Structure formats: structure tokens, C-alpha cells
């Protein structure tokens, strides 16, 4: 864990964020940006790797030709992993300028846009991207369920939308899951996209709400990956 950030601070901001407004959240992420990946490795955060592999396993196309929209891109972790698999063209969106500055250092993004999801519209043209991916942000207190429609809108006809969800077992977390999965199904019923695959993850990340210093007591938060394909019509 980085010297300038205590585990207690992380617990405050990674748990359901009641009482933490969006500006406080943005300020926290701005100051966290430089050690974000280091700290998440400490927390055994597997979601980026698992989501990228899940997408690649179900993807058809030539990665080097694909336009990728990396939503809630953070420090550029997902783009770095996708680049290793042959993807070359990325646009990133995040609510933290500090995170976008870190993402820019990767050299993988053709454009980076600042927007607070759920408060401001997704700053992209509709129907542009072959792949839209969001990892880690779809959870209570972070990004509202309504953003899933914006993700779908940004994709090309036949394009993929890949999403991860933190499966923390709390009342608010369970409500978010129900709301999200209801919206995903509703969008399918409306003909906006078709379901490609869903995958459950047992070890999404360490549960930082408890003391995991004793390895034998390590407890993980589960998660879910979703993949949809935008309708051709």
C-alpha cells in the first residue's frame, strides 16, 4: 500500500459511497492517480485482466482495426492489457483529470475526454466504436445504471459492449445488481442489443472492508462480467 494513502481512506471510498459527493470522489481519485494501479495490485484487483480476457475470448474481428471506447478508463490499465492483445485504437473517458493524465502516459489513447458519468453525458458520437468497455465503475455510489444505454448508443451496429460489476454483498449492492440486470434485459427486450455471455468471478478483488492482513483470513468480493452485442438494425 502506498505511503500517502491509508487503508482506512481506501475503505471509505471503495465502499458504497453514502455521504461522499461527486466532487469529493473526483478529488480523491485525482490524488490517487499516481499510485492507483500499485494500490489495486495490493488489493488483488483482477477485474481488468478478467474483463479483457473475457472480451477477447468472445470477440470476432481484427483487433488492430477496432475502435475501442474505454469508459471510466482510470490510469489506462485496461488499454494497456488490450494493447498487448493487438488492439491499437483507444478513446478514454474518465471523471478524474488526474487519472486521464496517467492514462495519457501510456501512449495508447488517440483521445482522452473528461466527463463525470451519470452527471454529464458520455462525450462521444453515437455509433462510432467497435468495442465499448467499462471496468470497475458499475456499482452503487459510482456510476448509475442509466449509463448502460449511453454505452450501447456509443457502439457501432454489431459492436460489443463489455461491462464488469463489483458483487459486494450489501443491501445497496444487491439493489444495484437487480437494477442493472433488469435494465440489461429490458434493453435486450427492446431490441437494442443481444446477450453474448455472462461470467461470474469468485475473486474480483480483496474485500477491503475487513482486515485481510492474515492470509488465512483473506476474503474476496465476487463480481460479474457481461458482454452484449449491439443490434444491426
Q: Regarding beta strands 129-138 and 220-230, do their DSSP bridges make them parallel or antiparallel, or are they unpaired?
A: unpaired
Q: Are 187 and 227 in contact (CB under 8 A)?
A: no
Domain boundaries, the chain: 7-230
pLDDT higher for 229 or 204? 229
CATH 3.40.190.80: does it fit domain 7-230?
Answer: no
What distance lies between CA 119 and its chain's CA centroid? 17
Interhelix angle 147-154/171-189, nearest 10 degrees:
40
Average pLDDT, the chain: 87
CA distances from 217 to 47, 138, 165 (A): 21, 27, 24
d(CA 110, CA 107): 8
Of 90-94, 97-101, 134-138, 168-172, the least confident: 168-172
Distance, in Å, from the CA atom of 60 to the CA atom of 160, rounded to the nearest integer, reads 10
Q: What is the pLDDT of residue 186?
A: 98
Q: What is the pLDDT of residues 22-62, one digit of tens each?
A: 777 777 777 766 776 676 666 778 899 999 999 999 998 89
Q: Residue 131's beta-bridge partner residues?
A: 68, 160
38/23 Cα distance (integer angstroms): 24
* Greater model confidence, 22 or 140: 140
Confidence of residue 4 (pLDDT cuts 50, 70, 90): very low
DSSP H/E element including 200: strand 193-206
Contacts of 111 (CB under 8 A, 6+ apart): 91, 92
Quick one: pLDDT at residue 32? 67
What is the pTM for the complete model shown?
0.87
Q: Tell me the pLDDT band of 78, cut-offs 50, 70 and 90.
A: very high
pLDDT for residue 128: 97
Amino acid at each position: 500500500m502506498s505511503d500517502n494513502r491509508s487503508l482506512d481512506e481506501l475503505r471509505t471510498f471503495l465502499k458504497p459511497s453514502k455521504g461522499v459527493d461527486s466532487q469529493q470522489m473526483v478529488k480523491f481519485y485525482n490524488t490517487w492517480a499516481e499510485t492507483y494501479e500499485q494500490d489495486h495490485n495490493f488489493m488483488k484487483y483482477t477485474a481488468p485482466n478478467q474483463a479483457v480476457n473475457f472480451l477477447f475470448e468472445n470477440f470476432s474481428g481484427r483487433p488492430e482495426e477496432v475502435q475501442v471506447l474505454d469508459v471510466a478508463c482510470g490510469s489506462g490499465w485496461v488499454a494497456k492489457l488490450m494493447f498487448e492483445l493487438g488492439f491499437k485504437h483507444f478513446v478514454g473517458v474518465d471523471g478524474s483529470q488526474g487519472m486521464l493524465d496517467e492514462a495519457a502516459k501510456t501512449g495508447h489513447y488517440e483521445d482522452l475526454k473528461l466527463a463525470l458519468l451519470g452527471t454529464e453525458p458520455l462525450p462521444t458520437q453515437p455509433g462510432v466504436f467497435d468495442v465499448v468497455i467499462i471496468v470497475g465503475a458499475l456499482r452503487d455510489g459510482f456510476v448509475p445504471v442509466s449509463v448502460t444505454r449511453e454505452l450501447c448508443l456509443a457502439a457501432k451496429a454489431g459492436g460489443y459492449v463489455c461491462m464488469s460489476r463489483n458483487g459486494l454483498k450489501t443491501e445497496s449492492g444487491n439493489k444495484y445488481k437487480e437494477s442493472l440486470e433488469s435494465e440489461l434485459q429490458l434493453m435486450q427486450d427492446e431490441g437494442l442489443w443481444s446477450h453474448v455471455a455472462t461470467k461470474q468471478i469468485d475473486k474480483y478483488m480483496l474485500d477491503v472492508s475487513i482486515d485481510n492482513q492474515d492470509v488465512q483470513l483473506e476474503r474476496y468480493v465476487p463480481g460479474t462480467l457481461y458482454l452484449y452485442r449491439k443490434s444491426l438494425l
